[in-house]
Amino acid sequence: MKKKWAILTAIFTITTMLTGCESFLVLDPKGPQAQTQAKDIILSIWIMSFIVIIVFGILAYMLIKYRASKQMPDYRPPHIEGSILVEAICVGIPVIIVVFLSIVSVQSNYKVESAPAIYKDKEPLIIYASTSNWKWHFSYPEENIETVNYLYIPVERPIEFKLYSYGPITSFWIPQLGGQKYAMADMVNTLHLAADVPGEFMGRNANFNGKGFAENTFNVTAMSQEEFDEWVNEVKDSAEPLTEQKFDKLLEHGHVGQSTYTGTHLTFLPPPEGENGGHQHGASQSDDSDNHSSEEHSSSEDSNSAHNSH
Amino acid sequence: MDIFERFAVPHPSPAIYVSMVAIGLTVIAIIAGLTYFKKWGYLWREWLSTVDHKRIGIMYLISALLMLFRGGADAIMMRAQLAIPENKMLDAQHYNEIFTTHGTVMIIFMAMPFIMAFMNYIVPLQIGARDVAFPRLNALSFWLFFMGAMLLNISFVIGGSPDAGWTSYFPLANNEFSESVGTNYYMFALQISGMGTLMTGINMITTILKMRAPGMTLMKMPMFTWSSLVANIIIVFAFPVLTVALIMGTMDRLFATNFFTSTNGGMDMLWANFFWVWGHPEVYILVLPAFGIYSEIISTFSGRNLYGYKSMVGSMVIISLLSFLVWTHHFFTMGQGALTNSIFSITTMAIAVPTGVKIFNWLFTLWKGKIIITTPMLYSLLFIPIFTIGGVTGVMLGMSAADYQYHNTMFLVAHFHMVIIPGVVFAMLAGFHYYWPKMFGFILNEKIGKWTAWIISMSTLLAFMPMFFSGLDGQARRMYTYSESTGYGIWNMLSFIGAIGLAIGFILIVYNVYYSTRYASRDISSDPWDARSLEWATPSPVPEYNFAIVPNVKSVDVLWEAKYNNHILFPGKYENIHMPNNSGIPFILGCIFFAWGFSFVFGMWIPAISTTIGIFVCMGHRSLEKDHGHYISVKEIEETETKLRGA
């Protein structure tokens, strides 16, 4: 009786989980990358629920049918070695499921690692996102402006984030636009995201980096290209320039609010890529460091080879 | 004054002062009690200097339970802190120390000794051996583990606890960002106990390969022995990586080398690689012996042989190989590109296949059986559904594109608790109830036991299911607080209630031990469960020499054959038995290692050098010592056997 109740609760929980999905941030995507991921998640939840239900079903059947209390006192269970057929099914079905999921997974990997297909024809906006304990610095090299702890992005345009850190490993995450990637001190990681619709999104560091971790967040606002251009011009007119002293002060440990500057720290403190890379050294890449368009094709490969070459 | 500052706790709070007083009072009570009851000699002769695998197993068991409560108290504090948004109960630093200690204690100092307890106690009995291959090394392994555990535990009151997470990722764990000595404690506590584990690995492999009773071929070994063999092989391959990583980390912290720094040519992702090359196999080191225990219990209480013995063994071997090929899934988000992620995504999901085979084999072991639901069986049956939920979410995490959304979130926390708790903790509790009569000669109360099993399993669901949802809603792990507007409050409150339920369950286990010790019947046979394998062929309590006559094995379920098919288990007559002598050296060496670790934690070089010399003196003593063990005479064996078997 208790068993049945437990199974019912479990099934109930799973159903609520499936019906309640839409309200969760990750399952409420506002960009193509997050959409790919949300689709994968929903698909895998359905397939996995199927497996869970089969296991629960067999368990319930065995327990109901073969309880000692339901059998003759002199019943002696037989000796059964196993059966090729049964075991072939037990291996075969999971193998089919894993193969299917692997195909889906590999396809999605390539999708989320490259610029979103639907905005392929548009020039990507490059934003350098770096962390120092416990804040986010966003540099817009083309616009020549920089923000702290907030991010304005245009909609329907691919955004190419260049991630790195001035300290512990952090992880750049905007759940509604797409999954995260690490920002580390000695290399630059590339993350491709895009927003379909205007709106405000939560962004945070997802990897533990000490005392101020919980508040290591930033706000993301997606807006039309016109509004974005307007904002850029406004910043250029009104914000104070980012000096080296000012930036050094920002790098000190602690929380600060949001702020905006003209100019970027990239000019006086270059990111760890190309000739400035920690372990991405090698003269051949130094040419790429000031030429983003040629780099963007090879960037994911670069970080890949950087890992493997050590 | 300098000394005082060095050893003082950097972030004192009422909780720490209470712990200090509690530790002080406990120590005084133990010393006073031992002196009053004149038990110092008994303690030394029977326990501290023992080399008997059964006593060492029991000591592992006691340590594991103590650490379960230590890590559990941390868990309760964490869940209480998060139960309501913007809670001020703990500050960030304190919370960080607590989750770091919780993870470290639970994996290294709770789950590991728990499996070691059963390996030590059961494996020699199951294979018909009189002890492990290297009894004194076995004692040393235990004391190294124990001293490592104690070293980590005193960090809370002397100098500060580690606060960089149980994974201790560099550069966060380096001096620049973790200034207190906490991470030094982490490095040395894990190093010392890790050495013990590695020795156990070698010891157990030798024992299983060389000391099986006549007739027990590899494919006639009971499943728990098989799982222990595979787990120990993983230990021998994985733990040296941890040893090296910890040495490099220690060098970075104490001697300013730059292995893992972010400047001067160090590489921070190297730590993550090392850690998980050890860390991922580690979870299989824990879970395979647990699977072995489930196999024994499910087969015993179904009254049937284990279904698909060969595929069980095969799947374990495949799991052990795959366990070394998946470590990168712990940092899918490190930017290694689509190709690398795809490969590790596939190897990760592939592990689901052999694991699934095991689940189905257990289900088919129930088929046509005669299922008796005892407490150990109840844990094993509850394990299957809960572990399945945990397992399938593992497959979901294995899809690397989707992992970008789960990574470092509560979803992950939910997943690994939903596999480790039913997978390892339930198995250990099942084994605890199952083997208790063998260890202590009476059965734990079944009614309390079943209540406890239900409370623990339902609380596990309540505590961890909500984390799947809060994770999908964007709650990162290790956040000490969150704002009300996030809406995580309800999920965390549910988790907290579940955690309270778990605490009640674990307290009930202690109550059960107390209750049963007082009231349980001592009049049970040596085989109260009608079991199938050799450990139940010995009298309870098991005599020092285990088997008066070396058993003769012809099948997996050899005791069953002896009971129901007239197989002669103990042919021949009594002969003198050679047994190893007790030795105090392992305990003393353990204490020296404790002092050695402590000296290094605080960079006190004179004690560090003298303890290092002490270690070599002990090793030298062992090399020059003449100790050939002793013989137990036939007369003594006859007396013991008559007394124990009540003939």
For A265-282, write each residue's pLDDT tens digit. Answer: 999 999 988 777 765 433
Closest CA to B135 of B118, B117, B120: B120
**What is the DSSP-derived secondary structure letter of residue B517?**
H
Cβ–Cβ under 8 Å, residues B288 and B232: no
Cβ–Cβ under 8 Å, residues A223 and A155: yes
| Termini Cα distance of chain A | 58
Q: What is the mean pLDDT of residues A4-26?
A: 66
Q: What local confidence, expressed as pLDDT, does residue B261 receive? A: 86
Closest CA to B334 of B281, B271, B278, B279: B271
Higher pLDDT, A74 or A221: A221
Residue B439: C-alpha distances to residues B35, B139, B431, B436 (Å): 27, 18, 11, 5
Residue B630: strand, helix, or coil: strand
CA distance B398 to B98: 28
Query: Measured between CB atoms, which of A41, A94, A167 is closest to B177?
Result: A167
Q: pLDDT tens digits, residue range A132-168?
A: 999 999 999 999 999 999 999 999 999 999 999 999 9
Higher pLDDT, A179 or B203: B203
Cα B572 from chain centroid (whole Å): 39
Distance from CA of B541 to the nearest CA of A (A): 29
Mutation target vs B (from A13, A42, A50, A80; most B CBs, 10 A cutoff) = A80
Cβ-based neighbour number of residue A76 at 10 Å: 10
Checking DSSP bridges between strand A150-154 and strand A217-223, what pairing results, if any?
parallel
Cβ–Cβ under 8 Å, residues B616 and B604: no
Any chain B CB within 8 A of the CB of A52? yes
Burial class (CB within 10 angstroms; exposed 0-12, middle 13-18, buried 19+) of B421: buried
CA distance B549 to B544: 13
Whether A55 sits inside 8 A of B384 (CB atoms) is: yes
Cα B534 from chain centroid (whole Å): 24
Mutation target vs B (from A132, A186, A305; most B CBs, 10 A cutoff) = A186
CA distance B398 to B342: 10
Closest CA to A277 of A306, A234, A237, A308: A306
CA distance B429 to B376: 7
The angle subtended at Cα B97 by Cα B93 and Cα B103, nearest 5°, is 145
What residue of A is the nearest CA neighbor of B557? A79
- Provide the pLDDT confidence category of residue A284 given band limits of 50, 70 and 90: very low
Phi and psi dihedrals of B612, rounded to 5?
Answer: -60, -45
Closest CA to B15 of B98, B79, B96: B98
Cβ–Cβ under 8 Å, residues A223 and A154: yes
What residue of B is the nearest CA neighbor of A24? B473
Tokens coding B238: 């994985």
List chain B residues with CB under 8 Å of A167.
171-172, 176-177, 262
Whether A300 sits inside 8 A of B338 (CB atoms) is: yes
Cβ-based neighbour number of residue B617 at 10 Å: 12
pLDDT, averaged per 10 consecutive residues of chain B (647 residues), comes to 75 81 88 90 92 96 95 95 93 93 96 96 95 95 97 91 93 91 95 96 97 94 96 97 96 93 84 95 96 96 94 95 95 92 96 95 94 96 96 95 95 96 96 95 95 97 96 95 93 96 96 96 89 92 92 92 90 92 95 97 94 95 90 92 75
List chain A residues with CB under 8 Å of B304.
77-80
Buried b (16+ CB within 10 A) or exposed e, B197-234: bbbbbbbbbebbeebbbeebeeebbbbbbbbbbbbbbb
List chain A residues with CB under 8 Å of B268.
169, 184-186
What residue of A is the nearest CA neighbor of B390? A52
CA distance B97 to A200: 34
Whether A112 sits inside 8 A of B401 (CB atoms) is: yes
- Residues 6 or more apart whose CB falls under 8 angstroms from that of B567 comprise B554, B555, B558, B561
List chain B residues with CB under 8 Å of A38.
405
Closest CA to A261 of A236, A280, A291: A236
Closest CA to B143 of B227, B269, B51, B229: B51
Which residue type is seen at B156? F
Buried b (16+ CB within 10 A) or exposed e, B477-504: bbbbbbeeeebbbebbbbbbebbbbbbe
Q: What is the mean pLDDT of residues A7-17?
A: 63
Q: pLDDT tens digits, residue range B411-470?
A: 999 999 999 999 999 999 999 999 999 999 999 999 999 999 999 999 999 999 999 999
Q: What local confidence, expressed as pLDDT, does residue A4 receive? A: 61
Tokens coding A241: 């320039």
- Using the predicted structure, report yes or no on whether residue A297 has a pLDDT greater than 70: no
List chain B residues with CB under 8 Å of A48.
392-393, 395-396
Checking DSSP bridges between strand A259-262 and strand A170-174, what pairing results, if any?
unpaired
Q: What local confidence, expressed as pLDDT, does residue A22 receive? A: 52
Whether B402 sits inside 8 A of A40 (CB atoms) is: yes
- Using the predicted structure, report yes or no on whether residue A305 has a pLDDT greater than 70: no
Q: What local confidence, expressed as pLDDT, does residue A283 receive? A: 36
What residue of A is the nearest CA neighbor of B381? A59
Whether B96 sits inside 8 A of A175 (CB atoms) is: no
Q: What local confidence, expressed as pLDDT, does residue A82 receive? A: 83
The angle subtended at Cα B62 by Cα B60 and Cα B63, nearest 5°, is 65
B266: region left, alpha or beta (phi > 0 left; psi from -120 to 50 alpha): beta
Cβ–Cβ under 8 Å, residues A277 and A302: no
Q: What local confidence, expressed as pLDDT, does residue A206 receive? A: 95
What residue of A is the nearest CA neighbor of B401? A109
Buried b (16+ CB within 10 A) or exposed e, A164-203: bbbbbbbbbbbbbbbbbbbbbbbbbbbbbbbbbeeeebbb
Query: Measured between CB atoms, which of A66, A98, A205 is closest to B353?
Result: A98
CA distance B365 to B314: 17
Q: What local confidence, expressed as pLDDT, does residue B107 receive? A: 96
- Provide the pLDDT confidence category of residue A303 given band limits of 50, 70 and 90: very low
Any chain B CB within 8 A of the CB of A154? no
List chain B residues with CB under 8 Å of A86.
360, 364
List chain B residues with CB under 8 Å of A189.
334-335
List chain B residues with CB under 8 Å of A193.
none
Q: What local confidence, expressed as pLDDT, does residue A291 receive? A: 42
Cβ–Cβ under 8 Å, residues A29 and B402: no
| CA-based R_g, chain B, Å | 25
Residues 253-282 of chain A with CB under 8 A from chain B are 278-279
What residue of A is the nearest CA neighbor of B165? A208
Output the CA torsion sign for B168, B173, B179, B181: positive
What residues does A136 pair with on adjacent strands? A131
- Using the predicted structure, report yes or no on whether residue A292 has a pLDDT greater than 80: no
Q: What local confidence, expressed as pLDDT, does residue B299 receive? A: 96
Cβ–Cβ under 8 Å, residues B60 and B114: yes
List chain A residues with CB under 8 Å of B176.
167
Whether B481 sits inside 8 A of A175 (CB atoms) is: no
- Provide the pLDDT confidence category of residue A50 given band limits of 50, 70 and 90: very high
Q: What local confidence, expressed as pLDDT, does residue A294 receive? A: 39
Cβ–Cβ under 8 Å, residues A220 and A147: no
What residue of A is the nearest CA neighbor of B393? A48
Q: What local confidence, expressed as pLDDT, does residue A281 receive? A: 39
Mutation target vs B (from A1, A87, A193; most B CBs, 10 A cutoff) = A87
Residues 204-233 of chain A with CB under 8 A from chain B are 204-214
What residue of B is the nearest CA neighbor of A166? B262
List chain B residues with CB under 8 Å of A219.
none
Average pLDDT, chain A: 85
Q: What is the mean pLDDT of residues A7-28?
A: 68
Whether A37 sits inside 8 A of B405 (CB atoms) is: yes
Distance from CA of A147 to the nearest CA of B (A): 23
What residue of A is the nearest CA neighbor of B349? A98
Q: Give helix A292-308 / helix B337-350 axis angle, nearest 10°.
A: 40
Q: pLDDT tens digits, residue range A67-95?
A: 988 888 888 899 998 888 988 999 999 99
Q: What is the mean pLDDT of residues A7-16?
A: 64
Q: Give the rounded percent of residues in chain A with a pLDDT score beyond 90.
A: 72
Whether B480 sits inside 8 A of A13 (CB atoms) is: no
Tokens coding B160: 């500060």
SS (H, E, C) chain A: CHHHHHHHHHHHHHHHHHHCHHHCHHHCCCCHHHHHHHHHHHHHHHHHHHHHHHHHHHHHHHHHHCEHHHCCCCCCCCCCCCCHHHHHHHHHHHHHHHHHHHHHHHHHHHHHHCCCHHHCCCCCEEEEEEEECCEEEEEECCCCEEEECEEEEECCCCEEEEEEECCCCEEEEECCCEEEEEEECCECEEEEECCCCCEEEEEEECCCCCCCHHHCEEEEEEECHHHHHHHHHHHHHHCEECCHHHHHHHHCCCCCCCEEEECCCCCCCCCCCHHHCCCCCCHHHHHHHHCHHHHHHHHHHHHHHHHHCC
Whether A168 sits inside 8 A of B169 (CB atoms) is: yes
Query: Measured between CB atoms, which of A20, A94, A202 is closest to B352?
Result: A94
- Provide the pLDDT confidence category of residue A298 given band limits of 50, 70 and 90: very low
List chain B residues with CB under 8 Å of A210.
96, 163-164, 172, 177-178
Closest CA to B432 of B331, B495, B512: B512
Q: What local confidence, expressed as pLDDT, does residue A300 receive? A: 41
- Using the predicted structure, report yes or no on whether residue A5 has a pLDDT greater than 70: no
List chain A residues with CB under 8 Å of B334.
181-182, 184, 189, 307
- Using the predicted structure, report yes or no on whether residue A9 has a pLDDT greater than 80: no
Cβ–Cβ under 8 Å, residues B161 and B70: no
Whether B368 sits inside 8 A of A78 (CB atoms) is: yes
Whether B304 sits inside 8 A of A279 (CB atoms) is: no
Q: What local confidence, expressed as pLDDT, does residue A16 receive? A: 62
Output the CA torsion sign for B555, B556, B559, B561: negative
What residues does A241 pair with on adjacent strands? A262
Any chain B CB within 8 A of the CB of A182? yes
Q: What is the mean pLDDT of residues A178-199?
A: 94
